[in-house]
Structure 1
Amino acid sequence: MERDALTPDLLLDAYAAGIFPMAEARDDDALFWVHPERRGVFPLDAFHISRSLRRSIRRGDYTMRVNADFAGTVAGCAAREETWINGTIFRLYTRLHSMGHAHSMEVWDGPRMVGGVYGVTLGAAFFGESMFSRRRDASKIALAYLVDRLRLAGFTLFDTQFLTPHLQSLGAVEISRDAYHARLADALKRRADFNAPGAVPTPQELLQRSTQTS
């Protein structure tokens, strides 16, 4: 796909159809569509917070921010030896963010972002794109706060695209393409607002809610 052929609106149509774009590498301008036969999803009422992660969250030596530096979150996710996030994807998702269709959950240590996750929203579906961590448990903390926000905001589907051992350890599961499309169709009929919950909860509030839903 030529890099100028994909627009933000076409990208949203693709998500609604269950497909998403990737690049082979950072320096490859071409994009290709992905439509996995098996799809990773996070059941929003079954996110697993281990004892060690619970301790990291309770410690509270971090600040959680929402959409404070979306571009920086995407850049953090791309800052690895091999990445599918090229310049075209960076620009497209930054535009989606300005349109209100892409969001980031960020973990900060003072003036430095040390972890985060970003994704696309459409209806009551959140399509997780990527995450990064610059210190122990930072990406897991970001996911825990993200799942809490999605529940409060009325989301019904958290798509992780693929199932990795790391995501599986946190409660993600794999479903068939047909099952995914059924969940996606239902989520697209609903409304959710990522910004509705307002300020992020305290560590104690987050952990208390996670206990009530797990």
Structure 2
Amino acid sequence: MPTIIKENYLKALLFLNQQSDAITITQLGEVMGVSKPTVNDMVKKLKSAGWVEHEKYQPIHLTKEGQMKAALVVRKHRLSEMFLCEIMGFGWEEVHEIAEQLEHIRSEQFFDRMDELLGFPKVDPHGSPIPDRNGHLEHPHYPLLSQIMLGKVVVKGLAESSTSFLKFLNNKNIRLGTILTITGKEDFDGSMVVHYNEHQQETLSASVTERLLVEVVNGAS
């Protein structure tokens, strides 16, 4: 259990680090859902292990070793999600909690074999990049659908992947790889009219378009 908790903290620090270089005890506590004293105690343990750098009242920084360890936990999680979807037939809205358990399996060989079985995927079912076995994590930069005015785009990822949002996308038949043709955008509320899957048309609210990562095709603007 202690190792699992430490790995969860490292993973949280890695995600927070993608948003800001200055991670505070308060921010980490909010993500982990625990008190400041609890966070302080764990940060001391992570520092003792050589995974973070931290001084009192200063931001928390992952060390190079800490970044690699965190990325390998993320690798296990995202490979597990792919395995659950591609091999076991789970929906993309069902896999997160199960992967949270599988990511703490110790065997690297197990996940290397899983990677091979899946054909060495680059992204998970939600479009998030999968770190390689050395902990290298690429961060492709795709614009949000809300940033595009008109034209054709392909859905490449999600800015957030809550169960409710994934179920919404299921109901709208929108997946990774879905090609959307933007035919109109409302200035007042940012809603967007899109055509896809040959004959389907939807008006997507700004709360949806601000969560879809896309790649522009055919000169969209």
Structure 2-normalised TM-score?
0.23
Higher normalized contact order (CA 8 Å, seq sep 6+, divided by chain length): 1
Q: Which has the higher strand share?
A: 1
Instruction: Return the index of the structure with the highest Cα Rg.
Output: 2
Structure 1-normalised TM-score?
0.23
